[in-house]
Structure 1
Amino acid sequence: MRKQHNKPVRVFVTGMGIISALGDDVQKNHDSLVNSRAGIRKAVHFKSHYASLLPFGEIEMSNENIKEILNLKEEPGYTRTCLLAAKAFDEAVVDSGITSADLSSFDTAFISASTVGGMCLTDQLYEDANQKSEGSEYLESYGPGSHTLKLVERYNINGFTDTINTACSSSANAIMLGARLIKSGRATRSVVGGVDALAKYTVNGFNALKILSENPCKPFDENRDGLNLGEAAAYLVLESEEVVGDKKVYAEILGYGNSNDAHHPSAMSDDAVGAIRSMREAIETAGIGAERIDYVNAHGTGTPNNDSVELTGMTKVFERVPLFSSTKSFTGHTLAAAGVVEAIFSILSINHSEIYPSLHIETDMVDFEDFPVRRYRSGVQVNYVLSNSFGFGGNCTSLVFGKVIK
């Protein structure tokens, strides 16, 4: 039965977990951000024709390392996608202090996201699909939701479960759905996030679109020439105010907005109609004015279309554009994981009063008067952060995170 609430339900972040090219936990990611140390480099584990030609935001840990850490050596069917998800999920759950009973409760929801899923094993998928193998252990692991099912089984999750694929806005939408379930009384707790591993499937696809850069990406630079693909997994534990108790709370989920301009399969409309709507909706649902946003963690892919459209949108949403930057210059574009990775970075900004820069910028964009933060800044009051995640097909999602004031 749906629970009835007499006052608005507040949703807090009580746990975080992440593995990215910056490190295998939250602390290591934070250290890299503070020291402006990017994780974009030549790939070691990813085997592809392009591995020696292009830079990637590859995670340093091997599959074998992760299996050993998580005691999964004897578990079949764990693709790299599944392993990365399990690593980040485990950190988030431990960080939050939720129990096995909490995870198994029907009041706990689990929403994850992925685009490539188990198709990170592109060659093995080809062998299995074309009956060129005797059938590998991964036959049930190729779908986008396979990692979700692995975690459901591993942690005995019984509540509402879903896997979202809206391209690059996927895990931002997972956060939004998890928060809405709590606010509507359908859950008291949600574990939300997403994962994507490097894959020939996606690398070849993005290469066909001619939007992969041969150099570390430089979002919001006049001469930007494309993105770098990365891999990551990250999760947040969201809890309603009624179950938080005296736990450490990182931030509050205040607002969210989603729109779809349906302009083009792989580009946003030049007038930024979708981006504008998602940002305005997020700020409005947060119940604050646009002038109170202290920092925008931009989608900022480093492609000509995205960066100009996003900045156009910000100039129309804000009378004065706040401090902004793109942390994809650190991690590469992690696709379905990008929204939650950047949510964690946004929350770190709030908790540590810091702004992490857009790296590698050499030339300001000539058509704009607003420029991203280029160097690490500390001692900056950050009470409200807007985080943007814009996906293929024009699916735009924006989230507002706020400092918790008790």
Structure 2
Amino acid sequence: MKRVVVTGIGAISSIGLDVQGNLNSLRNGIGGIGQSKFFVSKYAQTHALGEVKASDDELRLMLEVKDEKGLTRSDLLAFKAFREAITDAGLDEDALSSFDTALISASTVGGMCLTDQLYQDANTASKASEFIRSYSASAHTSYLAKRYGIKGIVDTLNTACSSSANAIMIGSRLIKSGRAKRVIVGGVDSLAKYTVNGFNSLGILSPAATKPFDLNRIGLSLGEGAAYLVLEALDEVDGKQVYAEIKGYGNASDAYHTSSISDDADGVVYAIRQALNSSGLSPNDIHYINAHGTGTGNNDKAEVVGFSTIFGSKIPPFNSTKSYTGHTLGASGGLEAIYSIFSIKYGELYPSLNFETPIEEPYGLAPIRCYQNDVEIRNVLSNSYGFSGSCTSLVISKV
């Protein structure tokens, strides 16, 4: 069975416009959640959001697509992270256009970030706008495939908040099964009235920056961003840089509730066990957990139950990097995989921000509180959980 390694990464989020910017913010404990500047909504005044620190016009200038029609903010964020990843991996036109190259992307909002414009077009309240073909979750994928001449397998996933983690899993399986030599995987989501209003109706949006795993947590903070990783078969790398290996993965649907995961952590436990089994590792081999950690009552407590079930009293250091970026939905699994790679590559652990008081007994567990370096981290567990109990876990390892 082929080994799958990461040879390129690209990221944009509220804590950085590129990979280095994201790394610098993590190292310095700088969060990106606060008052939004570009997202227009009445809830932007009452809730803290993780907004990318660039306008659409600024993104267009960075990408040299100033006059290109029909591009949504989701498209622009995806393009920015995608370009960084393929440049980092040294993929040229021949590699990108090869039938051995696949693209598996993910999004929950897609072009529906233009919620008001979508309403106008859907109700023929105006002439069809330039965005008429841009509203689907897959529009950004089609744009990338066309722009870069990708002729291999192309697909878009929407499994809510586990979407880009599932893209990584499926990309890895394509390589392991011999269906592709390289796969560009990841996802994107931008802030949208569609999702902000939806999460607000569930009563789980926090008015201040989210505080995952804290006893007094009051909800999640939505964010936006994009992340892409270039996966390649190790025997095809030919001396390239290698960041890490996608060692294992597991996916489960607990079918417990439309917007919650099982209180008994059934899906969480199954996904972690499958990821460990497929990696050939035991719980004792995991050195760090990048938790899903949304800061909601249901998620954090259920995830801690899952940790206790799998690891017993020897739970590895864990954190929630959503305390930096907010919950970026379809981009979160990709971003957090890249942050996990940072920990492996640089031997660093980043603190969960805003944490004060552990969840009540019998757990009493606290996430990482302080920045740590010179830490030997060989295997990381990265968790992503979506609505309807779509739970995915990845094991990412040092090569």
Task: Give the TM-score taking structure 1 as reference length.
Answer: 0.97
Partner of 1:237, secondary structure, is strand
Q: Where has structure 1 moved over 4 Å in runs of 4 or more?
A: none
1:353 to 347, 365, 390: 347
C-alpha distance in 2 between matches for 1:358 and 1:257: 25
Let me know the Cα RMSD of the aligned residues.
0.6
1:382 to 369, 374, 377: 377
**CA displacement, residues 227-249 of structure 1 (integer Å, 9 cap, x when unaligned):** 00000100000000121011110
Q: List gaps (5 residues or longer) in structure 1.
A: 1-7
5 Å matches for 1:2-401?
A: 8-319=1-312, 320-367=314-361, 368-401=363-396
2:99/2:151 contact within 8 Å kept:
yes
Partner of 1:3: none
AA of the residue aligned to 1:148: T
AA of the residue aligned to 1:403: K
Q: Cα distance, 1:369 vs. partner?
A: 3.5
**CA displacement, residues 281-318 of structure 1 (integer Å, 9 cap, x when unaligned):** 10110111110100000000000000000010010011
Report the number of matched residues. 397
C-alpha distance in 2 between matches for 1:245 and 1:283: 28
**CA displacement, residues 244-301 of structure 1 (integer Å, 9 cap, x when unaligned):** 0111100000000000000000001111000000001101101111101000000000
AA of the residue aligned to 2:378: N
C-alpha distance in 2 between matches for 1:134 and 1:21: 34
C-alpha distance in 1 between matches for 2:42 and 2:98: 46
AA of the residue aligned to 1:170: S
**CA displacement, residues 57-81 of structure 1 (integer Å, 9 cap, x when unaligned):** 0000111111111111121110000
C-alpha distance in 2 between matches for 1:302 and 1:369: 16
Select between 353-362 and 190-199 the one with higher mean Cα deviation. Answer: 353-362
2:34/2:208 contact within 8 Å kept:
no
C-alpha distance in 2 between matches for 1:88 and 1:121: 20
C-alpha distance in 1 between matches for 2:203 and 2:340: 30
Q: Between the two proteins, what is the percent identity of the paired residues?
A: 56
2:188/2:330 contact within 8 Å kept:
yes
Task: Give the TM-score taking structure 2 as reference length.
Answer: 0.99
2:15/2:52 contact within 8 Å kept:
yes
C-alpha distance in 1 between matches for 2:231 and 2:279: 16
C-alpha distance in 1 between matches for 2:208 and 2:91: 42
Q: Cα distance, 1:343 vs. partner?
A: 0.2
